[in-house]
Structure 1
């Protein structure tokens, strides 16, 4: 009877990462899918494509503004409850977006969708931290990391196919059944997790941090895209950093009740993984814009072909499950991160060596290998980030980590755009008319920049994370 119970508990725990993975994939796809569907949306809604970019930025703005509140809400009302509400809001907003008949409607519904998305990722990660035992953590973080990365890469392909063969509205309708399934499975298999806190909501901190994130990320999103003037871009970024400076002062005055206590950065492992790992996240964040453009402009592929080649990167992401746990046990997380980051940087720089004559099969294999190395690095980061974070800080720590991840991804796009702008001007032509020669230097720079993370990863204790790779304890779960 005991063996049967143990197997039942173990199976229940193994289901949790898979349940969390579904909305993670949907959210990642949602942030990258609309780009290829904007032309058909513009025709349907009778709006200019430039104005429809507001559908992208409004979601991003809402996502970043509400992120800081997610940790406090999960602690106050329970992680499972907030996670289900987040999926529900995201799914409802998706249905409304699919029914939208004007630009104003879709912008309003995308703001609502961003509210749901802001709670899903940090609260989902919090559920894993509080319900999955060390012995299952590597596998859990694999399921948590891979869907998001795969969604960002495959989003443009999914959007292109749906917009071409059906309607752009199905981009949103597809979220509904998966969202309902996620809620039902969460209620059945995810344990109720709630901290006993009676902390007041930090309204001033929430406003300052929200304004900071909105200014920085929205400013970065406009770099090199000609949505607004350069002066407006710098103004938004400037407001973001000034607001963050004001938040730092606010945090020093009331660190106990701060919505995001900056004292978390004093935890060495957390800082090494979040701040030190930013070069890796920046490189990963640049791929949704760099890969499709390079495949089409530099290698002469069609949009669908370039999307399929990007899907090869996703195939590599899923292949990492076969090697990650064994590698962690054999050589440890520190060695994995140092090795996989170097290989990831080499593969990234190698993209710049592709030509129109390069075999598509060779490209496919390289993208698959690159996906494996990227995932090994990212899974290690996600696994180790919270190893030394006290339990009472875990909710706010997951919100802070997600915020930094979002900033890194946005900076990746901005950094890639700036690199291509400089190389285009160096070659004597406008950045609006990119040519093949503009891309290789950008890939070389991004690959070299990734190596900066080695300085942080090298400071990590060799024994860190050993409990995740070698723990043999029986899984426990709160009923």
Structure 2
């Protein structure tokens, strides 16, 4: 519950930002699409600093790192509230991400280390259920504040939650640490940090936001080169920052790599959907938030039965069928029009949220099915980095698809007709996860799901 408190705060903050992007863009006098930088900078910060979260917990203790991370996240929230420009807002979101990078993975690591394999699926569901309240409460709350007050007050919501988290962690979390922590791969950290930053910065600014197109392309090339160097040097190290050898584990590879492509498609929703409802249909932030929270409500309800579905059908069958259903739900969102009844929109978002929630629970659990306890810290770091990169790529791919649709249709300003092609593109990206998931054996993850007919 303590870790879920941190997840609640982070998830609520992210959904609040997504709902209020058009409002924030108007106040900062920026193109709404340019606000993708506020989303990607946060996710980039997570990807950069998550790899050292496990080492810091082993070195300084889980409670110390967890509480420090909450403090940094709270400080970043205050900076967001005081931002007066796009550059300042992006920098403040990056600071928030530094806190989130330590807060959530360290908390998840505590749960993983204290849970048996047989109880892992149920434990992960319990862990995320309170956290899913954030996306339920966040959109309507953020929309209400942005519509009837001012968007800056949104970030002050994190202060009382942070104070509560600091108190609970200090009182109840043991300061677990390793007696002899593994050495930190400093060169690997620098290479991955610079490489990921340059690559994501280039992708996020390719729409001529903040920097010119040649600078964006140069940043992408430099980032890709640094990541290639990292992969080359990591293979020769006994304690690499991110252990790529874990990808040899079949279930981990399917959950992480297959999950990466699925999450790219799903990661575009927080960016595209609020813009679709507000710029395309003319809804205000509050009305948009009331509709989009249906997706999170569906995700929350699915958590209660995910373990039973996996026990009945097994990981492989659930992941394959559910990938197709979740991708179709993206196409249905793109089919909305200004005349679509709001009740029908909520039903589609609710059902789609169920599919996505089941997929995330299944992928998260499957990834650790065959990972040894001694490798759990490394596995958590690698999986978390890939998840955040996928979410950042989802925003970037969604923005590219939206801009491409605008260009093809000759629109200078974003219109409702630009969104269906964008949702079709991200749905196809999500569907490519099947290339990895279909290779799983029927018995994959049977020790977790308890699926008795795994060999059939």
By the TM > 0.5 criterion, same fold? yes
* Selected match of 2:388 from 388, 401, 406: 406
CA contact (8 A) 1:65 1:213 kept: yes
Report what 1:226 is aligned to: 209
Matches within 5 A, 1:319-398: 319-398=301-380
Question: Greater shift after overlay, 274-283 or 228-237?
Answer: 228-237
Aligned 8 A contact 2:297 2:350 in 1: yes
Q: Distance in 2 between matches of 1:133 and 1:179?
A: 29
- For the residue of structure 2 that corresponds to 1:276, the secondary structure is helix
Check conservation: 1:19, 1:186, Cα contact below 8 A. Answer: yes
Distance 1:380-1:448 versus aligned 2 partners, 3 A rule: same
Q: CA separation of 1:40/1:338 partners in 2, compared to 1, >3 Å: closer, same or farther? A: closer
Which residue of structure 1 lines up, in the alignment, with residue 168 of structure 2?
A: 185
Aligned equivalents of 1:99, 1:148: Cα separation in 2 = 26
Residue 454 of structure 2 corresponds to: none
State the 1:130 CA deviation.
0.7
Alignment match, 2:430? 450
Please name the residue that 1:20 is paired with.
3
In structure 2, C-alpha distance between the alignment counterparts of 1:27 and 1:202, rounded to whole Å: 28
**Cα offset, 1:119, TM superposition:** 0.8
**How do 1:93-172 and structure 2 match up within 5 A?**
93-95=76-78, 98=81, 110-145=93-128, 151=134, 155=138, 157-172=140-155
**Distance in 1 (alpha carbons) for counterparts of 2:266 and 2:16:** 17
Q: CA deviation at 1:388?
A: 1.8
Q: 2:144, 2:335 → 1: CA distance?
A: 29
Q: TM-score, normalised by structure 2?
A: 0.87
Deviations along 1:30-53, one digit per CA (max 9) or x if unpaired, are: 34544637866996xxx7658998
| Number of the residue aligned with 2:231 | 248
Does the aligned pair in 1 maintain the 2:44–2:388 contact within 8 Å? no
Aligned to 1:280: 262
Structure 2 counterpart of 1:417, from 399, 406, 431: 399
TM-superposed CA distance for 1:102, in Å, is 8.8
Does the alignment pair 1:258 with 2:240? yes
2:55 — aligned with what? 72
Contact 1:62 1:112 in 2 (8 A): yes
- How far apart, CA to CA, are the structure 1 residues paired with 2:35 and 2:413? 22
Runs of at least 5 residues in structure 1 that lack an aligned partner in the other structure? 1-17, 472-479
Give the match for residue 12 of structure 1: none
Q: 1:424·1:434 contact (CA, 8 Å) conserved in 2?
A: yes
Partner-residue secondary structure (3-state), 2:290: helix
| Aligned equivalents of 2:191, 2:395: Cα separation in 1 | 25
Bigger drift between 335-344 and 447-456 goes to 447-456
What's the offset of the Cα at 1:268?
1.8
**Is the Cα contact below 8 Å between 2:62 and 2:175 reproduced in 1?**
yes
In 1: Cα distance, 2:301 partner to 2:183 partner: 45
Equivalence for 1:269: 251
The equivalent of 1:475 in structure 2 is none
Give the CA deviation at 1:152. 6.1
**Alignment-derived partner of residue 217 in structure 1:** 200
CA contact (8 A) 2:66 2:106 kept: yes
Match of 2:277 in 1: 295
**What SS does the aligned partner of 1:388 have?**
coil
Instruction: Find the aligned partners of 2:127 and 2:51 in 1 and give their Cα distance.
Output: 20
The corresponding residue for 2:178 is: 195
Q: How far 1:199 moved relative to its partner?
A: 2.7
Query: Any conservation in 1 of the 2:129–2:303 contact (CA below 8 Å)?
Result: no
Count of residue pairs brought into register by the alignment: 448
Identify the range of structure 1 (90-99 vs 172-181) with the bigger mean alpha-carbon deviation: 90-99
Contact map agreement 1:145 1:375 (CA 8 A) in 2: no
- When structure 1 is superposed on structure 2, of 176-185 and 192-201 the one drifting more is 192-201
Stretch of structure 1 that moved more, 381-390 or 440-449 = 440-449
Judged with a 3 Å threshold, the aligned counterparts in structure 2 of structure 1 residues 86 and 293 are, in CA distance, closer, same or farther, namely: same
Distance in 2 between residues matched to 1:28 and 1:285, nearest whole Å: 13
Shift of 1:278: 1.5
Superposed, 1:44-83 pairs within 5 Å as 49=30, 59-60=42-43, 62-83=45-66
**Is the contact made by 2:327 and 2:431 (CA closer than 8 Å) also made in structure 1?**
yes
Alpha-carbon distance in structure 2 between the residues aligned to 1:418 and 1:52: 13
Question: Structure 2: 5+ residue runs without aligned partners?
Answer: 452-456
Q: Give the TM-score, by structure 1 length.
A: 0.83
Note the alpha carbon deviations across 1:65-101, whole angstroms, 9 max, x for none.
3222112112223333322221233224434655678
